[in-house]
Amino acid sequence: MLQSRRWVTVAVVTLLALQVFQIVVVLHQESLTYDEPDHMYAGYRMWKNGDYGLNPEHPPLVKLLATVPVLGENLWVPPLRGIYFKGEAYAGGSAWLAHNDGGTQRLVFRMRLSAALLALALSLVVFFAAREWFGTTAALVAMTLVVFDPNILAHSGLVTTDVGATLFFLAGLWAFYRYVKQPGLLRLAIAGVVLGLLLATKHSGVMLGPMLLVLVGWEVIVAPKGTHLRTALRLGGAYVAMVLVAVGVLWAFYGFRYAARPAGLQLVPTLEAYRQQLKPFDAGVIWWMACLHLLPESYLMGMVDIRAFAKNFTTFVLGNWYPHGVWWYFPAAIAIKTTLGMLALVVLAGFAIVTGKLGKGPNHSRALVYVLFVWVAYLVTAGANGLNIGVRHILPLYALAAVIAGAGVAALAPLSNKWKWVCSVLIAAHVVSALSTFPNSLAYANEAWGGPRKTYLLLNDSNVDWGSQLYQVKAWEDRHLGEDCWFAYTVRPFILPETYGVHCHILPNGLGGAGKELVPTVIHGAVLLSAAEVDGGLWPSKEMNPYRAFQTMKPDEEIDYGVLVYRGDVHMEATGGISRAFLAYNLLMEKKPQEALPLAEEAVRLAPDQLYPQWTLGDAAAAVGKKDEARAAYQAAIVATGSLDPERQKDYVKQIQASLSKL
Kindly state the helix (H) or strand (E) to which residue 453 belongs, with its residue range: none
The single-letter DSSP state of residue 459 is: B
In whole angstroms, what is the distance from residue 500 CA to residue 630 CA? Answer: 42
Contact between 177 and 366 under an 8 Å Cβ cutoff? The reply is yes
pLDDT at 530: 94
Indicate the residue type of 273: A
Burial class (CB in 10 A: 0-12, 13-18, 19+), 98: middle
Closest to 659 in 3D by CA, of 627, 587, 643, 596: 627
Contact between 501 and 103 under an 8 Å Cβ cutoff? The reply is yes
pLDDT at 3: 54
Global pTM reads: 0.93
Across the range 225-253, mean pLDDT stands at 96
Closest to 99 in 3D by CA, of 78, 79, 82: 78
Percentage of the chain beyond pLDDT 70 is 99
In whole angstroms, what is the distance from residue 359 CA to residue 382 CA? Answer: 27
Q: Are strands 557-559 and 505-506 parallel, antiparallel or unpaired?
A: unpaired
Q: Which domains does the chain have, with CATH numbers?
A: 5-316 (no CATH), 462-571 (no CATH), 577-661 (1.25.40.10)
Across the range 608-637, mean pLDDT stands at 91
125-132 contacts, C-beta under 8 A, 24 or more apart? 125/167, 125/170, 125/171, 125/174, 126/170, 126/399, 126/402, 126/403, 127/12, 128/174, 129/170, 129/171, 129/173, 129/174, 129/403, 130/402, 130/403, 130/406, 130/407, 132/174, 132/177, 132/178, 132/367
Among 58-67, 97-106, 307-316, 493-502, which stretch is predicted with the lowest mean pLDDT? 307-316
Residue 624 clears pLDDT 60, i.e. is over it: yes
Residue 322 clears pLDDT 90, i.e. is over it: no
Per-residue pLDDT tens for 258-300?
999 998 899 999 999 999 988 899 999 999 999 999 999 999 9
Kindly state the helix (H) or strand (E) to which residue 456 belongs, with its residue range: helix 455-458
Across the range 229-234, mean pLDDT stands at 94
Contact between 287 and 332 under an 8 Å Cβ cutoff? The reply is no
Q: How many CA atoms lie within 13 A of 143 on its CB side?
A: 30
CA torsion sign for 640, 645, 648, 653 is: positive
Helices 136-147, 5-29: inter-axial angle, 10-degree rounding: 10
In whole angstroms, what is the distance from residue 568 CA to residue 579 CA? Answer: 20
Per-residue pLDDT tens for 497-519?
998 999 999 999 988 877 888 99
> Across all residues in the chain, what is the average pLDDT?
92
Tell me the three state secondary structure of residue 591.
Answer: coil
Among 21-35, 317-331, 589-603, 621-635, which stretch is predicted with the lowest mean pLDDT? 317-331
Closest to 158 in 3D by CA, of 14, 338, 34: 34
pLDDT at 543: 84
Across the range 423-448, mean pLDDT stands at 96
pLDDT band per the 50, 70, 90 thresholds, residue 323: confident
* Cβ neighbours, 10 Å, residue 131: 19
Across the range 614-643, mean pLDDT stands at 91
Residue 69, phi then psi, degrees to nearest 5: -65, -15
Q: Name residue 529's beta-bridge partners.
A: 488, 564
pLDDT at 320: 85
Residue 362 clears pLDDT 70, i.e. is over it: no
In whole angstroms, what is the distance from residue 4 CA to residue 13 CA? Answer: 14
Indicate the residue type of 236: G
Residue 150 clears pLDDT 70, i.e. is over it: yes
Per-residue pLDDT tens for 371-394?
999 999 999 999 888 778 889 999
Among 128-132, 267-271, 345-349, which stretch is predicted with the lowest mean pLDDT? 267-271
pLDDT band per the 50, 70, 90 thresholds, residue 194: very high
Per-residue pLDDT tens for 44-84?
999 999 999 999 999 999 999 999 999 999 899 999 999 99
pLDDT at 584: 93
Residue 2 clears pLDDT 70, i.e. is over it: no
Contact between 436 and 447 under an 8 Å Cβ cutoff? The reply is no
pLDDT band per the 50, 70, 90 thresholds, residue 482: confident
Across the range 613-628, mean pLDDT stands at 92
pLDDT at 312: 66
